[in-house]
Amino acid sequence: MSLLQAAPDTVSSSVYQCVAWLCVPQNQLFQKEVLEAILEAYGGDRDLAWNMAFQQENVPLVVSLYKETLRFFSTAAFNHRRASKEIKIYNTVIPKGIAVTMNI
């Protein structure tokens, strides 16, 4: 499922989160890598890349980016995650495997 097929009411939130994540200083190098991967896939033709990169979904790094965006920046209010390992936060232990509800 692509970013634009996820749901029309959540697309803007997902795109915003993706762009915001790419714009922070520590992700500038990754932003450059994504651009280079897109341009490489379309022979350096910026116009072709602009028109086709999200339609064809043949740039693996872009596909990974939007899938990770949908996973990490959940737009669903009741999207349960499970703790992959036991975590101690201050004096509280969150056991491995427990469902964690994110407050969105």
The pLDDT tens digits for 52-84 are 876 778 889 988 888 888 777 766 665 677 889
Q: What 3-state class would DSSP assign to 40?
A: helix
User: Which pLDDT score, from 0 to 100, does residue 41 have?
Assistant: 92
Residue that the structure tokens 């872009």 belong to = 62
C-alpha to C-alpha distance for 61 and 49, rounded to whole angstroms: 14
In one letter, which amino acid is 28? Q
Total-model pTM = 0.58
The pLDDT tens digits for 33-53 are 999 999 999 999 999 998 887
For the chain, state the CA radius of gyration: 17
